[in-house]
Structure 1
Amino acid sequence: MNSHAQIWAPAQALFDDTLAAIASSGARAWAQRWFGGERPVDVRRCEAGRAAGPPIGAAVWETKEPGVVLALDPRAHATLAGWMLGLETGGRTHRPADQQLFENLALAAAHDFAAEAARVFAVAPDLRKREGYRPDADDLGFVLSIGAATNLLQLYLTRACALRTRLHAIGPRVAPRSPRPRAEALLNQPIRLGVMIGRGRMALSELCSLGVGDVVLLDKGQDDVLALTLNGEVKDDPGCELRQDGSRLALRLAPQQMSI
């Protein structure tokens, strides 16, 4: 005799729209926090045989308590980040720095949705990254679309989690999430600071003839205010000055109103 108790549910209980509706409620709250506005959010259960697993290169999180797995399609990075920043990112070639920014923001948003999904399905929202994930035969798969952007995220539930949630469709109340996750993600992005000492112009022939010890004149004087650079882009306002801090160089912003 098998001593393991099994959760019982009516036939087809896992295959109606209840679980998708529960996931959609969390997805709408998540989308409002990150993207604002009234973007239509749709969560649908994968048809039989389509829950084959995340696409190649997807970032995957799972709850430490078995129950919920979330995968972010890498093709969704620019779309999600563009909505956060209010930019049109489709059909363009982006600089590596922009691609990294888009990836960082999309990962932050997807991680937050994984935690949201854990809460609505009554699983402890302790997450960890997962490599090489493939769903079990009994797992249920869902895809999340926002507006015309389809299959941005894939959500997987273990059968036990799906049954438990289906039998207790109204879960416990949870504390509200931070209303400013988008601002926090933006403010946590690393910025490279630098100083433009000066510029000069010369013919290509002069450049090719330069050798060790040659002197090139720049357009700045010794006491001139220098230009600040942010991620490699020169900002003339505010200016800055070089100072020495022990054995290292430091910069001091010139006393102008900063407008980046």
Structure 2
Amino acid sequence: MTLPCRSWLPDGTLAPASVQNLLAGMVESWSGEWFAGEPMRVAGGLARIAAPRTELRKAVWHCCDEGVAIGLPPAGVMALGAMVLGVPAAAGQRNAHDLALLEALGKECLDGLKSRLVQCLALGKPVWHPSEAGRGEGAIHRLEAVTATRGLTLLIELSAPCFARFVREVLPEPAVGVPLGSGSAALAGIPVSLSALLGRSHITVADLAGLGCGDVLVLDRATDDILPLAVDGVPLARGRCAVVEGKRGPALEIIEAPTR
């Protein structure tokens, strides 16, 4: 049976430099391809936002089902189209045909960014959909891309599981360390007390208080029976012994090995 699991990293985990550089390079490469006049650059690093829904920033989101979202201002797609043509983003006296052209160019430019993200994050074939609420509940990792004049801010957000998968893919495999020794070898030198459980005698508290020298207690087994072994007073599930007469007095003879 395969149990469901999720990729995760502890709270407060910062993106490694290699992850930051890979995303920044992707944004700059996409920007250089589309904008000749005022390219976009990454502002800062990939920041963890614990509660993105509490922010007052208004944005139109383009989300995919693999935990990635792109956020733009309400007129951000048209602003992208204006940047592609190198014209002011303000609508001014533009007619309906001009606005439709800017919208179409902006959408194509945004699709280019989505394609770059899919390739960079190895997302497969995600399905994108617009959303006013952003990616959803939970912490996210956000990257901001801005123009030189900060006339347009574009947000790229990764969910915590998506961020963890991305970090795992980018970072090199950990070095193989020295193999650990066996548990039996590590415990071999620890001293223990091996004893035989000769038997038990059940009496009352009153009888116990009245015991004196010379009193005899009857055990529940004979000393010539096969007896269970105990280590440090704890009976073993396996291991039997017998009491035999040795050269220096009574001794234990192992009948069944405890490690069997």
TM-score by structure 2 length? 0.52
SS in 2 for 1:130: strand
Provide structure 2 residue ranges, at least 5 long, that are not aligned to the other structure. Answer: 173-260
Tell me the equivalent position of 2:21: 21
* Shift in Å, 1:154: 1.9
Alpha-carbon separation, structure 2, partners of 1:147 and 1:49: 28
Aligned to 2:165: 164
Distance 1:78 1:18 in 2: 33
Relative distance call for 1:164 and 1:141 in structure 2 (3 A) is: same
Aligned 8 A contact 1:144 1:150 in 2: no
From the superposition, tell whether residues 4 and 150 of structure 1 become closer, same or farther in structure 2 (CA, over 3 Å). farther
Measure the CA separation in 2 of the matches of 1:111 and 1:54.
26
CA deviations on 1:207-241 (whole Å, 9 max, x unpaired) are xxxxxxxxxxxxxxxxxxxxxxxxxxxxxxxxxxx
Aligned to 1:80: 80
Q: Please give the alpha-carbon distance, in whole angstroms, between the structure 2 residues aligned to 1:74 and 1:105.
A: 16
Partner Cα separation in structure 2 for residue 16 and residue 93 of structure 1 = 47
- Hey, what's the Cα distance between the residues in 2 that align with 1:70 and 1:10? 24
3-state SS in 2 of match to 1:142: strand
Superposed CA RMSD in Å reads: 3.4
Do the aligned partners of residues 74 and 19 (structure 1) sit closer, same or farther apart at CA in structure 2, a change above 3 Å counting? farther
Task: Quote the offset at 1:111 in angstroms.
Answer: 1.9
Shift of 1:99: 2.0
- The CA deviation string for residues 111-150 of structure 1, in whole angstroms up to 9 with x for no partner, is 2212211221121143322334333222223322122235
Q: Is the contact between residue 63 and residue 118 of structure 1 (CA under 8 Å) also seen in structure 2?
A: no
Q: Are residues 1:94 and 2:94 paired?
A: yes
Structure 1 10/120 Cα, relative in aligned 2: closer, same or farther at 3 Å?
Answer: same
Q: Secondary structure at the match of 2:28?
A: helix
What is the identity, as a one-letter code, of the residue corresponding to 1:21? N
Matching residue of 1:34: 34
Task: Give distance in 1, aligned partners of 2:48 and 2:93.
Answer: 34
Matches within 5 A, 1:89-168: 89-90=89-90, 92-134=92-134, 135-149=136-150, 152-168=153-169
Please say if residues 14 and 166 of structure 1, whose CA atoms lie closer than 8 Å, have aligned partners that are also in contact: no
> How far apart, CA to CA, are the structure 2 residues paired with 1:101 and 1:27?
24
Question: How many angstroms apart in 2 are the aligned matches of 1:158 and 1:55?
Answer: 18
Tell me how far apart the structure 2 counterparts of residues 136 and 17 of structure 1 sit (CA, whole Å): 27
TM-score between both structures, scaled by the size of structure 1 = 0.52
1:177 maps to none
Report the Cα distance in structure 1 between the residues aligned to 2:152 and 2:133, rounded to whole angstroms.
17
Distance 1:157 1:32, change over 3 A: same
Cα 1:96/1:57, change in 2 over 3 Å: farther
